[in-house]
Amino acid sequence: MDKKNVSIGIGSVVFGAFFFISALGIKEAKASSASASLFPKIITAMMVIMGLLLLLREYVGMHNGSSNPKPIQIKNGKLMLVFCASMLLYALLLEILGFLICTFLYLTAMAILLDKEKSRRSMLYKVLFGGLLTAAIYLMFNNFFNASLPIGMIFGG
């Protein structure tokens, strides 16, 4: 039994369950045909299921005496941690800052992190990327899905 896999499985279940319960509190827009909490519920439910499958694999492997498969080597562990931490920060700040500000900051920061080019022109393109993609997502949800996105507590949401 790999203690790391058990820890990750338990962490996934707890983390997923916490955010699933949090998603239950997302307010529904009256004019919206699609539920605003549907996507977070699907993602967190999948997270819980994957954690349970990992725990089940470890449990079955322990009782069958089978060896664990070759572990996956993570080349950019620090970058992966930064992504996970930034996603958690995004989720926590979404209700406070709202979709537009939070998404713009997240997308711009991720573009800066992923690209090794650090020139002024490159930075301008990354800021434009964050702004244009945020605007496109907002317009798509607003016009096509008739779904309102969080405006944030600082703007009276």
Q: Which of 14, 48, 73 is the last residue of a domain?
A: 73
Q: Are residues 86 and 154 in the same domain?
A: yes
Is residue 97 located within the same domain as residue 111? yes
Place of tokens 């492997």: 61
- The alpha carbon of 67 is separated from its chain's Cα centroid by a whole number of angstroms, namely 32
pLDDT of residue 97: 92
Burial (CB < 10 A; 0-12, 13-18, 19+), residue 144, is exposed
Secondary structure in 3-state letters for 81-130: HHHHHHHHHHHHHHHHHCHHHHHHHHHHHHHHHHCCCCCHHHHHHHHHHH
Write down the pLDDT at residue 70: 61
pLDDT one-digit tens code per residue, 59-112: 887 777 665 566 667 677 788 888 889 999 998 898 899 999 999 999 999 999
pLDDT at 29: 62
Domains identified in the chain, total number: 2
Q: How far apart are CA 29 and CA 58, in angstroms?
A: 42
Domain of residue 142 covers 75-157
Please state whether the predicted TM-score (pTM) of the whole model is above 0.85. Answer: no
Say whether both 87 and 101 belong to one domain: yes
How far does the chain reach from its first CA to its final CA, in angstroms?
A: 48
